[in-house]
A and B are shown apart, each in its own frame.
Chain A
């Protein structure tokens, strides 16, 4: 079983989008697309499943608001009740309006930070990670589509040349 892939390189995101659509229409399997910036609508064109990040975000927000409730109850009611402006310091619910900004901020904080971390983990990005880009130009101004070859090398090369690729390479992946 050969591990050959094709790298089709484009220098414009519109051409790339058209190429991706054509490739999908021709039923070639797109392994990955590397772009220097997020290309709007690329995920749909590639047929990727919709992101589930929003569900994570909702869960993180729930954790955040629960944590803030627990924290403010511990700090301001249980551990060290303080009389601020004569507000009841012995009851969470009666003092709740004062804690709403904290509950809100914690919700946003948890949702935002954990969502970013989740996104990085899911994209296999972490500190000191070796870059996976097969070509450094994909960090600058080029777009690269990686397509698997199944004994149809000749056909694929000519196909990608016809889609407006500036460069088509066949690579043996190990």
Chain B
């Protein structure tokens, strides 16, 4: 039996405490009204935007000469009024973006850790259905990792409800004022409306949690059983879950991520999101396995198991890139305005995180994990694992931030604190769950094969 080391427990509590402080700071620091935004923008233009003021000045000159030609003072005042209105609108826009910022930071971290544990759950269900012989020694690690799912689901669901109650503007289609003036969103209102959306979310989360609960329960019951009936039961519910999962996963990705940019759509988005959290989940399994092994647990896990996990990290990283590129290239090539704006925003305003994610999630694991021997080295797995997890956090950041905070993004205190908070909560729930069951599912029919697995 595993015991949660006090050091790690304290560490997770510190993470949560620091995270909560940072999240609170983010919310307190967000501007309350337009005046604050005006001060903020003024301070900014004094700071480093000399170029912008210069352009404005020359622009004003040409305008005035134009006005002289027309010779109508009334035109100028109309212009001023329009400009003032535009300025007001801009301030309002920036205010909304800045008020969204702590929410978006919280949302990205929350959905990232929630989906990470879903990635583990999907991987675990695939192992069950494939009747894999190599992985049963890792089943309890996977079940431990999915123990975050109920915790994450509740927090996430509460955030979704708060979105519906207009605590924030993460989903602009939730705002009836926006829908009234937007034909495209109005056309989608039959699908994108709060009651249907929240009911879908509830069904998905409950369905996933039910599978997680019963699958772990059956796996434990199998330990004490005299036949393989619980194992067979798990096979059946895992197969059913995978069907349910792949449909709900796709819809989930439209509901919780793609609808943040409600004008834009991509048909392979579900797969893209799946690849992202699937590789994160597998990486988390590898990291926790390596950690437990270094603490002297999991005596039956050998380098071949680690090697196989690393192969999956490598393979699914490539798969993620394949989808990333497929989505990008078709839209780039077709160059249809309503589609391509998604990538133009990201390339112009999010250049570093957008391409940085590709480097961290593709180039880095490709070059490091390509070598067979490296896939067995603990320190390589840990290092690449951390880079992959940060890279996929960035990937979710890139999916969610442009539609919520626009060019006001920054990876500062609210963002980092949100990650720390959920990381702490994740570590606490996962390692607490790991103490509750023996780390070896001793009566799994494939357990002998798994113990002797060698590549």
Residues of A within 8 A of B370 (CB): 58
Complex CA–CA separation, A53 to B454 (angstroms): 21
Report yes or no: A85 in contact with B334, Cβ–Cβ below 8 A: yes
Report yes or no: A100 in contact with B333, Cβ–Cβ below 8 A: no
Q: Does B328 contact A (CB under 8 A)?
A: yes
Min distance, Cβ A105 to any Cβ of chain B, angstroms: 13
Q: Does A54 contact B (CB under 8 A)?
A: yes
Q: Does B435 contact A (CB under 8 A)?
A: no
Residue of A nearest to B328 (CB): A97
415-455 of chain B: CB within 8 A of chain A: 454
Min distance, Cβ B329 to any Cβ of chain A, angstroms: 5
Q: Does B214 contact A (CB under 8 A)?
A: no
Complex CA–CA separation, A98 to B335 (angstroms): 13
Instruction: Name the contact of A85 in the complex, choosing from B328, B333, B372, B454 (C-beta under 8 A).
Output: B333
Report yes or no: A97 in contact with B332, Cβ–Cβ below 8 A: yes
Report yes or no: B325 in contact with A100, Cβ–Cβ below 8 A: yes
Residues of B within 8 A of A41 (CB): 454
Complex CA–CA separation, A41 to B325 (angstroms): 38
Min distance, Cβ B108 to any Cβ of chain A, angstroms: 27
Report yes or no: B334 in contact with A98, Cβ–Cβ below 8 A: no
Q: Does A87 contact B (CB under 8 A)?
A: yes
Q: Does A86 contact B (CB under 8 A)?
A: yes
226-262 of chain B: CB within 8 A of chain A: none
Report yes or no: A87 in contact with B333, Cβ–Cβ below 8 A: yes
84-114 of chain A: CB within 8 A of chain B: 85-87, 97-98, 100-101
Complex CA–CA separation, A101 to B333 (angstroms): 13
Residues of B within 8 A of A85 (CB): 333-335
Residues of A within 8 A of B454 (CB): 41
Complex CA–CA separation, A86 to B340 (angstroms): 14
Residues of B within 8 A of A101 (CB): 329
Report yes or no: B333 in contact with A98, Cβ–Cβ below 8 A: yes
Report yes or no: A100 in contact with B372, Cβ–Cβ below 8 A: no
Interface size class of A (residues with CB under 8 A): 10 to 19
Residue of A nearest to B372 (CB): A54
Query: Total A-B pairs in contact (CB under 8 Å)?
Result: 18
Report yes or no: B329 in contact with A86, Cβ–Cβ below 8 A: no
Residues of B within 8 A of A98 (CB): 329, 333
Report yes or no: B335 in contact with A97, Cβ–Cβ below 8 A: no
Complex CA–CA separation, A138 to B151 (angstroms): 60
Residues of A within 8 A of B372 (CB): 54
Map CB proximity to B onto A46-67 as digits: 1 under 8 Å, 0 otherwise. Answer: 0000000010001000000000
Map CB proximity to A onto B284-318 as digits: 1 under 8 Å, 0 otherwise. Answer: 00000000000000000000000000000000000
160-189 of chain B: CB within 8 A of chain A: none
Min distance, Cβ A99 to any Cβ of chain B, angstroms: 10
Residue of B nearest to A86 (CB): B335
Residues of A within 8 A of B335 (CB): 85-86
Min distance, Cβ B237 to any Cβ of chain A, angstroms: 33
Residues of B within 8 A of A100 (CB): 325, 329
Min distance, Cβ B449 to any Cβ of chain A, angstroms: 13
Complex CA–CA separation, A151 to B332 (angstroms): 74
Residues of B within 8 A of A86 (CB): 335
Residue of A nearest to B325 (CB): A100
Map CB proximity to B onto A136-153 as digits: 1 under 8 Å, 0 otherwise. Answer: 000000000000000000
Complex CA–CA separation, A66 to B127 (angstroms): 39
Complex CA–CA separation, A37 to B328 (angstroms): 44
367-413 of chain B: CB within 8 A of chain A: 370, 372
Complex CA–CA separation, A86 to B335 (angstroms): 9
Map CB proximity to B onto A18-48 as digits: 1 under 8 Å, 0 otherwise. Answer: 0000000000000000000000010000000
Complex CA–CA separation, A98 to B370 (angstroms): 25
Map CB proximity to A onto B333-345 as digits: 1 under 8 Å, 0 otherwise. Answer: 1110000000000
Complex CA–CA separation, A88 to B13 (angstroms): 55
- Among A86, A97, A98, A101, the most chain B Cβ lie within 10 Å of the Cβ of A97
Residues of B within 8 A of A87 (CB): 333
Complex CA–CA separation, A87 to B333 (angstroms): 8
Residues of B within 8 A of A97 (CB): 325, 328-329, 332-333
Residue of B nearest to A98 (CB): B333
Residue of A nearest to B322 (CB): A104
Complex CA–CA separation, A153 to B325 (angstroms): 64
Min distance, Cβ B415 to any Cβ of chain A, angstroms: 30
Complex CA–CA separation, A101 to B334 (angstroms): 16
Min distance, Cβ B367 to any Cβ of chain A, angstroms: 11
Min distance, Cβ A106 to any Cβ of chain B, angstroms: 16
Complex CA–CA separation, A100 to B333 (angstroms): 12
Min distance, Cβ A98 to any Cβ of chain B, angstroms: 6
Complex CA–CA separation, A108 to B108 (angstroms): 36
Residues of B within 8 A of A54 (CB): 372
Residue of B nearest to A87 (CB): B333
Complex CA–CA separation, A70 to B196 (angstroms): 53
Complex CA–CA separation, A82 to B334 (angstroms): 16
Complex CA–CA separation, A97 to B372 (angstroms): 30
Complex CA–CA separation, A41 to B332 (angstroms): 47
Complex CA–CA separation, A100 to B334 (angstroms): 16
Residue of A nearest to B330 (CB): A97
Min distance, Cβ B328 to any Cβ of chain A, angstroms: 7
98-138 of chain B: CB within 8 A of chain A: none
Please name 11 pairs of A and B residues whose Cβ atoms are closer than 8 Å in the assembled complex, sorted by A. Answer: A54-B372, A85-B333, A85-B335, A86-B335, A87-B333, A97-B325, A97-B332, A97-B333, A98-B333, A100-B325, A101-B329
Q: 11 more A-B contacts (CB under 8 A) besides A58-B370, A97-B328? A: A41-B454, A85-B334, A85-B335, A86-B335, A87-B333, A97-B329, A97-B332, A97-B333, A98-B329, A98-B333, A100-B329
Closest 5 A/B residue pairs (Cβ): A97-B329, A97-B332, A85-B333, A98-B333, A100-B325
